[in-house]
Amino acid sequence: MIFQSDNMVGASPKVLDAIVRANAGHAGSYGADPWSQRFEQALMQFFDCPLEVFLVATGTAANALAASAICPPWGALLTHVESHVMDDECGAPEFYMGGGKLVGLPGIGGKITPEALDAHVAAEPGGVRRPPLKGLSIAQGTEFGLVYTPDELKELTVSARKHGLKVHMDGARFSNALVSLGCTPAEMTWKAGIDVLSLGGTKNGCLMAEAVIFFDRSLAEDFRFRRKRTGQTLSKQRLIGAQFEAWLEDDHWRELAAHANAMARRMAAGLAAIPGVRLAWPCEINEVFPVMPQVLMDHLIAEGARFYDWSDISMDPAMRPGPDEVVARLVTSFLTTPEEVDRFIAIAEDFMVQRRNAAE
């Protein structure tokens, strides 16, 4: 019953096997290897467009590098006030941007609306008091497990463009969001106005595979130098290239993400059916955010379940946890089994039943 994060499992057997096979013999270093190069070709097919791709070691690096490509040191990058780039990367975006400023926008469930964006821009004071707004970074899915529909993305990027902003998508759980929407990769990215994407494989079946992908290729100028300068250019890049190649092949990513999402939906349905438990946000990817009594959370942990509590700042105020309640985050992965989901639900259900009985 480990639901802490999708980064606590290794690679899928198929991805691991790709590492093993790619290990043999000599290969060009710093990306001049066949795996990286085939992946690049495959990626253009995947997204159905020309693009520039740069493999890196961590999602933090991918996001921070992408941020630096759309926001100069003297600029401001808008993002959700509780986004991962704002709150969980220990200042990496600011470091990679060279001092650029992250500015937080509000939004239920981590989603930024065109209205919120327009309102922020309208309230800018003018003059040189604030860094000029240069970019917008959104997450698909968000820190609260929600996804933007292609139409929502389009409306938001149209507004961003109107204000002169380039748009980055943090796709740490890109494949979960894509499976959830059932649209094409193109529809969720460049066709919806995304300029740069951080594509994450690590949370969905790879051991370490992250990429910065430029749909607006003009932003990729000098980027190979910029990546090298950040210590993100692996000498034996085949390690990443091979994982990503296997991950893309035969829709392996989809299979992995679909399973993780299904496990989350199963968990969500089970928990939502328990009186006294409700969902903070709908379950759209591989994360479930139940609002539950603190005593239930304590009980689940005592029974061996592992998961984190979570922020309620970006909830609809009317939905927020009461004084004895807490929001929890449960993350599923390609390794999650129906059995452990069901066991978690059963423990929760039993506890709440007994509690009600005791109260009567």
Alpha-carbon gap, residue 236 to 126, rounded angstroms: 48
Is 87 a binder of a second copy (CB under 8 A)? yes
What is the closest distance, in whole angstroms, from the C-beta atom of residue 251 to a second copy in the complex?
22
Minimum distance of a second copy from residue 304's CB (angstroms): 12
Cβ at position 86, least distance to a second copy in Å: 10
Q: Which stretch binds a second copy (CB under 8 A): 24-32, 43-51, 155-163, 244-252?
A: 24-32
* Sheet of 76-80, strand order: 52-56, 210-214, 196-200, 166-171, 133-139, 76-80, 101-105
Q: Is the four-CA dihedral 264, 265, 270, 271 of positive or negative sign? A: positive
| Least gap, CB of 234 to a second copy (angstroms) | 6
Task: Give the span between the Cα atoms of 268 and 278, in whole angstroms.
Answer: 9
**Closest separation in Å from C-beta 149 to a second copy:** 28
List Cβ<8 Å contacts ≥24 apart for 33-39. 33/237, 33/238, 33/241, 34/238, 34/241, 35/238, 35/241, 35/242, 35/244, 35/245, 36/237, 36/238, 36/240, 36/241, 37/241, 38/241, 38/245, 39/241, 39/244, 39/245, 39/248
Interactions with a second copy, residue window 39-68 (CB under 8 A): 56-62, 64-65
Q: How many CA atoms lie within 13 A of 257 on its CB side?
A: 26
Binding of residue 182 to a second copy (CB under 8 A): no
354 binds a second copy (CB under 8 A): no
Least distance between a second copy and beta carbon 254 (Å):
21
Rounded to the nearest whole angstrom, what is the least distance from the CB of residue 90 to a second copy in the complex?
4
Nearer to a second copy, 102 or 347 (CB): 102
Site string for a second copy, 137-176 (x = CB under 8 A): ----------------------------------------
Site for a second copy in 326-345 (CB under 8 A): 335
**Total of residues contacting a second copy (CB under 8 A):** 75
What gap in Å lies between CA 174 and CA 142, rounded to an integer?
A: 10
Q: Report if residue 72 touches a second copy, rule: CB under 8 A.
A: yes
Contacts with a second copy in 198-217 (CB under 8 A)?
A: 202-203, 207-208
Q: How far is the CB of 112 from a second copy (least distance, A)?
A: 19
Gap between the Cα atoms of 46 and 185, Å rounded: 7
For the chain, how big is the Rg over CA atoms in Å?
21
User: Tell me, what amino acid is at 127?
Assistant: G
Asked if 310 and 172 count as a contact pair (C-beta separation under 8 A), the reply is: no
Answer whether the bond into residue 145 is a cis peptide, omega within 30°: no
Among positions 36, 233, 261, 286, the unique one binding a second copy when judged by CB under 8 A: 233
Residues 239-258 that bind a second copy (CB under 8 A): 239
Nearer CB in complex with a second copy: 188/315: 315
Separation of first and last alpha carbons in the chain: 31
| Nearer CB in complex with a second copy: 132/275 | 132
* C-alpha span between 139 and 12 (Å, rounded): 24
Of residues 253-292, those binding a second copy (CB under 8 A):
none
State which residue, 1 or 181, has the beta carbon closest to a second copy: 1
Please, which residues have CB within 8 angstroms of residue 126's CB and are 6 or more apart in sequence?
none
Contact present, 307 and 8 (Cβ < 8 Å): no
Find the shortest distance in angstroms from Cβ 220 to a second copy.
13
Q: How far apart are CA 142 and CA 163, in angstroms?
A: 23
Exactly one of 80, 168, 173, 226 binds a second copy (CB under 8 A); which one?
226
Q: Decide if residue 81 touches a second copy (CB under 8 A).
A: no
Q: Is 129 in the site for a second copy (CB under 8 A)?
A: yes
Shortest CB 261 distance to a second copy, Å: 19
Identity of the residue, 59 or 185, whose beta carbon is nearer to a second copy in the bound complex: 59
